[in-house]
Amino acid sequence: MNDISNGEPNMSDEKREMLKPDELKPVCALANRVLEQLDRILLGRTDLHRMVIIGILARGHILLEGLPGLGKTALVRALGKVLKLEFRRVQFTPDLMPGDILGTHILQTVESGEREMVFQPGPVFTNLLLADEINRASPKTQSAMLESMEEHSVTLLGHTRALPEPFFVLASQNPIELEGTYPLPEAQLDRFLFKLVVRGMNVDVIDSIISSRRHGVPPEPTWSMTKEELERLFTTVDRIILPSPVSRYISRIVSASHPESDEATEEVCKYVLYGASPRAAIAIAEAARGHALLDGRPTVGFEDVKAVALPVLNHRVILNYKARFDKVDTFGVMETLISSLDEAETGLPRDVSLEMDKG
């Protein structure tokens, strides 16, 4: 995701004018209408759909991790239809080359009769790119996505070409198949705003799917967003205010993910090898703005931060070998950290709490 938003990045949030109810309410309804369409197309995934929409509002890339057949591809396809964005899918394989994604130069005869190298754009020149099973591609091909994801551009033979805006990468990976896969390097994982785990469905949802949808084919959306409406969403989310105490809370969460931090929990000190980078703090702040907009609030609160912090941190924090032996995952370590961190920053010891005098 970009470190600088499109809306007055150098202006302090305290100096911005707060959104009025008549400005916020219709945009909130618009964002929730997208959620309603996704819930109608794909059953039993409301929480996942909310986080995907928040990721789009934050203009970030999303990594979806889950077993085959859970609807990851269908979700991205449905999102493209509802947002009316150009959608392309690339099936990543070990023999996939960077040129297969970015594009390549082909020797062609032009109108003058001369032959010259003509650039043929790859599938990355789109609004919504589904990188299916991204961990099956070689590290060389995976690294070709870095510039596209960070700079929204492609450089080949010394010439830089801008990608269409908006540009999002939604990648999927299978967590259980290890043969023929290449784990994503930390530098590329850090480019993803969220890592969302796509879990299995309960009995009622499966029953609804097989009883109401032949061959599991989802219905078409009954409404699609216009380009102007999407731009209005982005403009409004840029105006969501991040108060100083909440900004400080985000910074403390990221700092406390490092074992050497004074606020690090016992689990962090025991199991974390490397904590989250400043990019994680930026990601939490932007995602929290999206969460606040979806809930109809003009300012970011502590509850917004807590709602988005785990999907931001779970792929950025690196655990040590002790965590593997003790079967501890990043979710558990970060969840304990967030729940134990004092929002008010009182500086009291962990075993001391404040109580209101009822007398």
Give the pLDDT confidence of 246-289 residue by residue, as tens digits: 999 999 999 999 999 999 999 999 999 999 999 999 999 999 99
Q: Which value, in Å, is the radius of gyration of the alpha carbons in the chain?
A: 22
List helix spans (H) across the chain: 21-41, 46-57, 72-83, 98-102, 139-143, 145-151, 186-189, 203-212, 227-237, 244-256, 266-271, 278-294, 302-313, 321-325, 330-340
Give the pLDDT confidence of 299-353 residue by residue, as tens digits: 999 999 999 999 999 999 999 999 999 999 999 999 999 999 988 776 555 555 5
Q: Give the residue-averaged pLDDT of 134-144.
A: 86
- Structure confidence at residue 140 (pLDDT): 85
pLDDT at 1 over 60: no
pLDDT at 120 over 80: yes
- Structure confidence at residue 231 (pLDDT): 94
- Structure confidence at residue 181 (pLDDT): 77
* Structure-model confidence comparison of residues 47 and 139, the more confident one: 47
Measured CA to CA, the distance from residue 49 to residue 41 in angstroms comes to 11
pLDDT at 4 over 90: no
Residue 87 tokens, joined: 């959608």
Q: Give the residue-averaged pLDDT of 127-136.
A: 92
Answer yes or no: are the C-beta atoms of 104 and 115 closer than 8 Å: no
- Structure confidence at residue 287 (pLDDT): 97
Q: Confidence class of residue 123 from pLDDT cuts 50, 70 and 90?
A: very high
* Structure-model confidence comparison of residues 25 and 344, the more confident one: 25
Domains of the chain with bracketed CATH: 13-239 (3.40.50.300), 241-348 (1.10.8.80)
pLDDT at 2 over 60: no
* Structure-model confidence comparison of residues 337 and 142, the more confident one: 337
Answer yes or no: are the C-beta atoms of 120 and 103 closer than 8 Å: yes
pLDDT at 135 over 50: yes
pLDDT over 70 for what percent of the chain?
91
pLDDT over 90 for what percent of the chain?
62
Q: Give the residue-averaged pLDDT of 139-149.
A: 85
pLDDT at 355 over 70: no
Answer yes or no: are the C-beta atoms of 93 and 135 closer than 8 Å: no
Measured CA to CA, the distance from residue 63 to residue 130 in angstroms comes to 10
- Structure confidence at residue 113 (pLDDT): 78
3-state SS of 58-78 is CCCEEEEECCCCCCHHHHHHH
- Structure confidence at residue 180 (pLDDT): 65
- Structure confidence at residue 3 (pLDDT): 43
Q: Confidence class of residue 184 from pLDDT cuts 50, 70 and 90?
A: confident
- Tell if the pTM clears 0.85, that is, is over it: yes
Q: Give the residue-averaged pLDDT of 206-232.
A: 90
Give the pLDDT confidence of 277-291 residue by residue, as tens digits: 999 999 999 999 999
- Structure confidence at residue 90 (pLDDT): 92
Choose among 102, 96, 75, 69: nearest CA to 87.
Answer: 75
- Structure confidence at residue 320 (pLDDT): 93
Q: Give the residue-averaged pLDDT of 51-55.
A: 96
Residue 222 tokens, joined: 């009954």
Crossing angle of helices 72-83 and 21-41, in 10° steps, is 140
The pairing of beta strand 318-319 with beta strand 272-274:
antiparallel
Q: Identify the bridge partners of residue 318 per DSSP, sorted by sequence position.
A: 274
Give the three-state DSSP class for 107.
strand
Answer yes or no: are the C-beta atoms of 92 and 137 closer than 8 Å: yes
